[in-house]
Amino acid sequence: MRKTRLGDEARRRAQDTLRLGVTNLRHVPIVYSKFMPATRSAQALFAPFTLKGLTLPNRIVMAPMTRSFSPGGIPTAEVAAYYRRRAEGGTGLIITEGTYLPHPLTGFDPKVPRLAEAALPAWSNVVEQVHAAGARIFSQLWHVGMQVTGGPPPPEGQQPQGPSMTQSEIDQVIAAYGTAAANAQAAGFDGVEIHGAHGYLLDQFFWERTNTRTDAYGGSLANRSRLATEVVAEIRSRVGPAYPIGFRFSQWKIIDYAVKLAATPAELAAFLEPLTAAGVDIFHASTRRFWDPEFEGSNLTLAAWTRKLTGRPVIAVGSVTFGADVMNTFCSDDAAPVTGIDEVLDGLEREEFDLIAIGRALLANPDWPRLVRSGALDRLVPFTRTSLTTLL
């Protein structure tokens, strides 16, 4: 009997791996807006914003970006200083890099930070440093699922998890999300963000190409969203009604940039409504270019549609002040050209989004908010791939 169970498990893992890898990484043609440096005040970016009683000093968010500078999963003093520099530079809300759950199969990079109990004193120091510099900070909760390419392989005897998990495995993952959120709260984080984007575990359940289940977790988009809604509900039960919960999602996947999880506004509503009902307080609509219209026949972006359909606050993200695609610059030695912020200001004025997340620009320029506020866009340093090799 034991041999049969192990064979079934291996078969499930292999099927997940094949489904995740059916498409090669694909780059699609890109047309960029010709941004000019802003000629008007950037003050709209610096208006306070309140989420569930938590007041942010401005509308600028540091986007979560994997750094892998935490040996043994514990953030170092250098990591704390890295986040503090962004807070001192004027960022209002920092979202940490993806942080592994206290679960053995959540991810396999030994230098990605974890939210296990052993790491909480170090995380408390990170939080204290950020708060002392005047910013707020969320922890991003991350389970990579089957998407382990590009990083260290799983240790011998361990297999990554995907949508073919058993019910017992699903229950353990849900509990791990709850524990991670409770640990984040105990460490002093101001909220948490669930990583449900880019083809990682929760997104593998969302996507019909990787989720071929026929039970309550498969089939319809509502069913494929069930794991995520159960994760949100579990976290809410652990942190209480007042603690902010964010949710990051994307249409694109790392293995297919052109795919759309929702092909129409109606499908997007069907995806977002259960998450909203489960307790998401703010959505983070991850796009590669924040200004792109999402659906044919409308100028609304993914962030704007999300805000319209859910009534919840939204973070927009994607190539802010850099006129080169985010994923392409991670793979190239070319510098990303610096652009202006008029499109960001336009989006805020049109109430398409509430907050704007900055990624690569904050890696290259820890004081990005101060430079933008003073109109010194000409002092912004272009991003290059070498920015990923240090905790500037």
Give the confidence band of 155 by pLDDT, cuts at 50, 70, 90.
confident
Give the confidence band of 331 by pLDDT, cuts at 50, 70, 90.
low
What are the φ and ψ backbone dihedral angles of 361, each rounded to 5 degrees?
-65, -30
Residue 259 has pLDDT above 90, yes or no: no
Structural domains in the chain (count):
1
**Domain assignment present for 362:** no
Residue 27: the pLDDT is: 34
- State the residue range of the domain holding 69: 2-31+42-309
**Domain assignment present for 342:** no
CB 160 within 8 A of CB 200: no
Residue 335: the pLDDT is: 66
**Domain assignment present for 360:** no
Q: What is the mean pLDDT of the chain?
A: 89
Residue 327 has pLDDT above 70, yes or no: no
* Residue-by-residue DSSP string for 108-129: --TTS-B-SGGGHHHHHHHHHH
Instruction: Read off the pLDDT of each residue in 126-142 and give the average, rounded to a whole number.
Output: 98
CB 161 within 8 A of CB 146: yes
Residue 178 has pLDDT above 90, yes or no: yes
Segment 365-386, tens digit of pLDDT: 999 999 999 999 889 998 888 8
Residue 245 has pLDDT above 60, yes or no: yes
Residue 130: the pLDDT is: 98
**Domain assignment present for 264:** yes
Residue 15: the pLDDT is: 59
Coil, helix or strand at residue 371: helix
Residue 324 has pLDDT above 60, yes or no: no
Residue 99 has pLDDT above 70, yes or no: yes
Instruction: Read off the pLDDT of each residue in 7-28 and give the average, rounded to a whole number.
Output: 50
Instruction: Read off the pLDDT of each residue in 74-92 and give the average, rounded to a whole number.
Output: 98
Tokens of 305: 């549609």
Residue 17: the pLDDT is: 52
Segment 261-302, tens digit of pLDDT: 999 999 999 999 999 999 999 999 999 999 999 999 999 999
* Residue-by-residue DSSP string for 205-258: HH-TTT----STTSSSHHHHTHHHHHHHHHHHHHH-TTS-EEEEEES-BTTBTT
CB 75 within 8 A of CB 119: yes
Tokens of 259: 């795919």
Cα–Cα distance measured from residue 135 to residue 141, given in angstroms and rounded to the nearest whole number: 20
Cα–Cα distance measured from residue 135 to residue 91, given in angstroms and rounded to the nearest whole number: 7
Cα–Cα distance measured from residue 97 to residue 62, given in angstroms and rounded to the nearest whole number: 10
Contacts of 30 (CB under 8 A, 6+ apart): 289, 325, 328
CATH number for 299: 3.20.20.70
Bridge partners (DSSP) of residue 282 are 246
**Domain assignment present for 173:** yes
**Domain assignment present for 107:** yes
Instruction: Read off the pLDDT of each residue in 51-60 and give the average, rounded to a whole number.
Output: 98
CB 192 within 8 A of CB 246: yes
32 a catalytic residue: no
Segment 344-357, tens digit of pLDDT: 999 999 999 999 99
Q: Which residue has the tokens 């659906």?
A: 295
Residue 22: the pLDDT is: 41
Residue 157: the pLDDT is: 84
**Domain assignment present for 328:** no
Residue 20 has pLDDT above 70, yes or no: no
Bridge partners (DSSP) of residue 270 are none
CB 229 within 8 A of CB 179: no
What are the φ and ψ backbone dihedral angles of 256, each rounded to 5 degrees?
-160, 100
Among 350, 362, 278, smallest CA distance to 320 is for 362
Residue 383: the pLDDT is: 87
Give the confidence band of 322 by pLDDT, cuts at 50, 70, 90.
confident
From the candidates 200, 217, 243, 257, which is the catalytic residue? 200
Determine if residue 134 is left, alpha or beta; phi over 0 gives left, psi from -120 to 50 gives alpha, anything else beta: left
What are the φ and ψ backbone dihedral angles of 114, each rounded to 5 degrees?
-120, 165
**Domain assignment present for 228:** yes
Instruction: Read off the pLDDT of each residue in 30-37 and give the average, rounded to a whole number.
Output: 38
